[in-house]
Amino acid sequence: MTSARGALILVPNTLDFGIAAEPPDVQDVLPVSVIRTAARLTHWVAENAKTTRAFLKRIDAVVPLAQPLQMLTIVELPRPPKGTRAASAADWSALLAPALRGVDLGLISEAGLPAVADPGAALVEAAHAAGIQVIALPGPSSLLLALAASGLNGQSFAFVGYLPVDAAERGARIRELEALSRRAHQTQLMIETPYRNEALLGALLAHLQPSTRLSVSCGLTMPQAFTRTDSIQGWRVKPTTLPADVPAVFALLVR
């Protein structure tokens, strides 16, 4: 960088950590320009330092890292315990210190694309407030891949995150989202912890109307990936069992 400050560079991740026994070649998922950029960065902010090191080992196998892996600086995003205050402005400033010194800083997410359905968004906001350039690199977003593969409305959609765990609250939320989709003709996207995939699918089948369209995408970018879109009635007639160890994206649309 020629400016006095470095940039915050949003580096996309692959979507297979903790899932595939033999992860696919990183070059099959990320553009070579992203791999080269990741290889040159020496300072990182991450959700998880361990998986970031695993990611960088895969990068190093394609393009040698600028420094040995053990010499790279990897700092995790703050995770305030439940019931305590959120991270403060001072916390974010400390994470952005390398960029303020003129060093480019990488942000990486477990979600694929940093700051999308991801806590890294707060660091991006802090970077803008500090006058630090933010550069987003191209890469996979499970939400957009699922939407593209669903055949549902890609002109108007919303990501609603996780649904309540409590069965009654979850049912009420599903009916609320169906009503919103009906009014706005808007696709509603949601995710769940993999071991609760089947529970969420069961709740959707129980509470949605038979004609509502439901799409489920599992294991995106991996060899076993699949997307199924059908009416709720179709899902009920021909059930599909979802894996309990692979992330899935769920989408619904009332036509």
Determine the pLDDT at residue 21: 65
Q: Domains, the chain, ranges and CATH?
A: 8-136 (3.40.1010.10), 142-253 (3.30.950.10)
pTM of the model: 0.88
Percentage, residues of the chain above pLDDT 70: 94
The tokens for 177 are 């989202």
43-73 in b/e form (b: 16+ CB < 10 A) is bbbbbbeebbeebbebbeeebebeeeeeebe
2: left (phi over 0), alpha (psi -120 to 50) or beta: alpha
Residue 81's pLDDT band (cuts 50, 70, 90)? low
Asked if residue 235 lies in contact with residue 214, where contact means CB atoms within 8 angstroms, the answer is: yes
Q: What is the pLDDT of residues 87-115, one digit of tens each?
A: 777 888 999 999 999 999 999 998 889 99
Residues 132-156: tens digit of each pLDDT: 999 999 999 999 999 999 999 999 9
